[in-house]
Amino acid sequence: MDASFLHLETPETPMHVGSLMIFELPEGYQGDYYEDVKALLGKRLHLASVLCRKLAQMPFELAEPVWIEDDDIDLDYHVRSVTLRRPGTMAQLEQLAARLHSTLLDRSRPLWEMYVIEGLENGQVAFYTKAHHSGVDGKAGVEIAKVLYDVSPQMREVPPPRRKRNTGGYQLGMTELLQAAVANSVQQYRKLADLLPTAAKAMAAAASVVASQRSAGGARPLNLGLAPKTVFNDSVTNQRSYSTLSLPLADVKKLGRRVGGTVNTIVMAICSSALQRFLTERDLLPKESLIAIVPVSLRAEGDSAMNNQVSMVRVDLATDIKELPERFKAIHASSEAAKAVVRELKPVLGVDVPITGSPWLMTGLASLLGRSNLASRTPAAGNVLISNVPGPSMTLYMAGARMVHYFPVSIPFHGSALNITVQSYAGLLEFGLTACRRILSQDESYELVEHLRSALREIEALPPVEQTPGAATAA
């Protein structure tokens, strides 16, 4: 899974995830915030392994690359300073984030960059980060945040890094690389063999769940077919549009309990209504329902490993249903059915499967997909990526400044030109809409945000559902 994000990367599809944060400087602050941030990171880099490692490619790309430690990190390269031109609006900041997100990371260095962005008209400071998805998923990104940020304006002291004893050269040799490739493949095949009995049980349990999901007579089917073709099912360029939206999390939870859904259902429903209206206004809404591709975490409770532990499910957005109450129920039923299957298949979904020659094979296929326009011609599994990531519940600080917003920035890909990622933070639900600018322009991205606001107001106007005594709806 980690390596696939490397192999699928092309100039048109940078495979890094990021965040756009807004900070409130301490009252009366007179320092140089960029230098303060750089000094803080210099003291704490060793606490996050993903920030201190780089790639070593295998000979002839016959196997997956390996991570090696880099003890010579150039902070002046990785941590940069940018100033917005006047007046320094939020729209200018979002456009800058879109531009920064469109460029590839240097694979000869650790795969991350950070930008301190000054010049906002309200006196706040922005902080944009990006790290390659091969090293982190959304949950692992939150774990990095816990390492680099503080929970009070007082910066905590951390133990300094231990001095390393160099036993080799700057790069691994040919023999070491081949030994690592063979050992890794053997280990993965052994895991596959050990997992076979568990896999059989998990598949049987999942089949049982799917069989039990047969809809009542006349009800909407829960088993989804292929997605209809939309403007979002096209090849992408490397140019990005980006916009944000922030909602009070407590209000969304309360709304979910009132109308009979979870926070995830509310997110899916407002995205459904917004996309339905956006496409209808352009006479581009297909007769069949749109389908969302939704990442789901496979991470066990307490697991803070800096890697990818994620799978995908498909959720019916029910855009072919005009009446909102019925559409909301259909979305909730589809989302819960998908999660039930994942719960049964969780033991096998995250297993690594080694494929000899996968680097050049997958990269070649990714290039072919982008340059041949196959994305717009082949059947689609889904139309839009929608991700809901649980983030830190407490207020965070960096170098004494309070984090006001924590917006996610994610990855559009060929056939899924729009990615809507939602992350909770300190009582807020933060939306980040990342798209190919050729397919969804910056102005159209803002238009979609307004449709999201309107969709939320429509759900708020729904009548409350009758609650069974003693029952509670999950958040």
b/e 107-133 (16+ beta carbons within 10 angstroms → b): eebbbbbbbbbbbbeeebbbbbbbbbb
DSSP per residue, 259-317: HT--HHHHHHHHHHHHHHHHHHHTT---SSPPEEEEEEE-PPTT---SS--EEEEEEE-
Q: Is 133 an active-site residue?
A: yes
Question: In whole angstroms, what is the distance from residue 123 CA to residue 402 CA?
Answer: 13
Q: Active site residue: 46, 133, 332, 451, which one?
A: 133
The single-letter code of the amino acid at 72 is D
Give the list of residues 6+ apart from residue 446 with CB closer than 8 angstroms, or none: 91, 243
DSSP label at residue 250: H
Q: How many Cβ atoms sit within 10 Å of the Cβ of residue 196? A: 10
Question: In whole angstroms, what is the distance from residue 123 CA to residue 134 CA?
Answer: 35
Question: In whole angstroms, what is the distance from residue 468 CA to residue 260 CA?
Answer: 11
Question: In whole angstroms, what is the distance from residue 134 CA to residue 138 CA?
Answer: 11
The owner of tokens 């997110």 is 267
Give the list of residues 6+ apart from residue 173 with CB closer than 8 angstroms, or none: none
The owner of tokens 């924590």 is 406
Question: In whole angstroms, what is the distance from residue 429 CA to residue 468 CA?
Answer: 28
Give the list of residues 6+ apart from residue 405 with CB closer than 8 angstroms, or none: 20, 21, 22, 244, 246, 425, 428, 430
127 contacts 114 by C-beta, under 8 angstroms: yes
The residues annotated as belonging to the active site are: 133
